[in-house]
Structure formats: structure tokens, C-alpha cells
């Protein structure tokens, strides 16, 4: 199992994540931030028609928060790069913890 984890760590490195996101043509900069801002406006309008506390309301609030993070990161591409790197690190840490418990 450790060999699989090590191969994952080598293959899913920062450079590869950056390359994957760049090749997928996600936007960055002012255009992406403007798009996220427009989506936030639309989602906030949707909130008005939803029952507070409902599943749809909560999911819409979470989407709004995600788009705010996209804006803070400088656009969709930088947000995805950061999020994917963090997710990779979390997966590695989770498996390292599980494997260390087996020894």
C-alpha cells in the first residue's frame, strides 16, 4: 500500500496539478472573478425563494461561499490549483495515518 501512496505522491505533484488545470483552460484574473461575482448575485437572488435551513438553501449558501473563495484566489484556475493540492495533501495524510495505525 505504501508503494501506491508513494506513486500517487510522485504523480500528483504541484507541477502536474498546475498543468492539468491550465490544460483544462479554467479562467483566471478579472474575467474569472467577474464571472464568479455574477454567479454570486444570481445565487443570492435564488436564496430569496428558498426556505431558510432547507437542503437547497444550505447548498446554495455553500456555493456562494465557494465562489467567494474563487474571487479571493484571483479566479477559478488559482482556486482549483490550491484546492486540488490541499485535497492531495489531505488524502496522503489520511492514508499515512491509517497505515501508521497498522504497524
**Domain range enclosing 77:** 2-102
Residues 51-68: tens digit of each pLDDT: 999 999 999 999 999 999
Residues 65-103: tens digit of each pLDDT: 999 999 999 999 999 999 999 999 999 999 998 888 765
Cα angle, residue 38 at apex, residues 75 and 63 outer, rounded to 5°: 70
pLDDT at 102: 67
| Beta-carbon count within 10 A of 68 CB | 13
> Please, are residues 40 and 63 in contact by the beta-carbon 8 Å criterion?
no
pLDDT at 44: 97
Taking residues 7-11, what's their average pLDDT? Answer: 91
CA distances from 40 to 6, 25, 28, 35, 45 (A): 39, 21, 17, 9, 9
pLDDT at 103: 55
Tally of structural domains, the chain = 1
Amino acid at each position: 500500500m505504501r508503494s501506491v501512496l508513494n506513486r500517487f505522491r510522485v504523480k500528483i505533484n504541484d507541477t502536474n496539478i498546475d498543468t492539468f488545470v491550465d490544460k483544462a483552460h479554467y479562467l483566471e484574473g478579472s474575467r474569472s472573478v467577474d464571472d464568479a461575482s455574477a454567479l454570486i448575485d444570481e445565487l443570492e437572488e435564488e436564496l430569496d425563494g428558498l426556505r431558510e435551513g432547507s437542503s437547497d438553501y444550505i447548498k446554495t449558501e455553500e456555493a456562494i461561499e465557494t465562489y467567494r473563495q474563487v474571487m479571493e484566489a484571483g479566479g477559478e484556475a488559482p482556486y482549483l490549483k490550491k484546492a486540488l493540492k490541499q485535497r492531495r495533501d489531505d488524502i496522503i495524510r489520511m492514508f499515512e495515518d491509517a497505515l501508521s495505525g497498522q504497524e
